[in-house]
Amino acid sequence: MARMTFPERSEPAFDAAERPMLEGWLDYHRETMAMKCAGLTDAQLREASVPPSAFTLLGLLRHMAEVERGWFREVLAGEELPELYSTEEDPDGEFHVTEADTWAEADAAWRAEIAAARKNAAAYHLDDFSQGVGSAGEAFSLRWIYLHMIEEYARHNGHADLVRERVDGATGD
């Protein structure tokens, strides 16, 4: 089994105030997601490594772009936006990758959503509530959204660990 050499990742500060701590942990997990995809070809990123599941690293990255968009743009800022990959006919479209889907496109979309998330979050205090609402009609504080996003990335980074190991045998932090 190969031990993967990952690019450097910023460790969250252990003595920061609450907001920089939350933002640091979210960025840490974002960087971890990128690391799990680093060095693979488009074909490897599209490889469904746990049959019969269609779960792939590329699909997971596309999913996280949708999640960033949903929480920071649609819920927090109240923007009305179309889905990036999902449709009414295919609500899990982000996971259904094809030969035409590339790392370059998915990474650009994901990074654009992260940039928009940072911009939108900068306009709010942790206790401020969102302009938009969740699926049950509730508003969320920015603090809740940060904590949820850290949880979302942490869970999916665990999935990415397993998929990456199945794709090329690489393991790592």
pLDDT digits (tens, 9 = 90+) for 38-56: 999 999 999 998 888 889 9
Q: ∠ CA(159), CA(3), CA(14), 5° rounding?
A: 65
Closest to 172 in 3D by CA, of 54, 18, 1, 14: 1
- The mean pLDDT value of the chain amounts to 93
- The C-alpha atoms of residue 147 and residue 23 are separated, in whole angstroms, by 10
pLDDT for 72-82, tens place per residue? Answer: 999 999 999 99
pTM, 2 dp: 0.93
Query: CB of 57 within 8 A of CB of 170?
Result: no
Tell me the average pLDDT across 54-64: 96
- The C-alpha atoms of residue 90 and residue 4 are separated, in whole angstroms, by 34
Tell me the average pLDDT across 55-66: 97
**How high is the pLDDT of residue 82?**
95
**How high is the pLDDT of residue 104?**
97
Query: CB of 83 within 8 A of CB of 75?
Result: no
- Name the region of 13 (left: φ>0; alpha: ψ -120 to 50; beta: rest): beta
3 confidence band (pLDDT: 50, 70, 90): very low
Q: Which amino acid is at 127?
A: D
pLDDT for 99-143, tens place per residue? Answer: 999 999 999 999 999 999 999 999 999 999 999 999 999 999 999
**How high is the pLDDT of residue 2?**
47
- The C-alpha atoms of residue 28 and residue 31 are separated, in whole angstroms, by 5
- Residue environment code for 38-50, b if the CB has 16+ CB neighbours within 10 A, otherwise e: eebebebbbbbbe
For residue 14, the 8-state DSSP code is S
pLDDT for 4-22, tens place per residue? Answer: 444 578 888 899 999 999 9
More confident residue, 2 or 42: 42
**How high is the pLDDT of residue 7?**
58
Tell me the average pLDDT across 141-166: 96
Closest to 100 in 3D by CA, of 69, 58, 148, 71: 58
Span between the terminal Cα atoms of the chain, in Å: 14
- The C-alpha atoms of residue 24 and residue 114 are separated, in whole angstroms, by 13
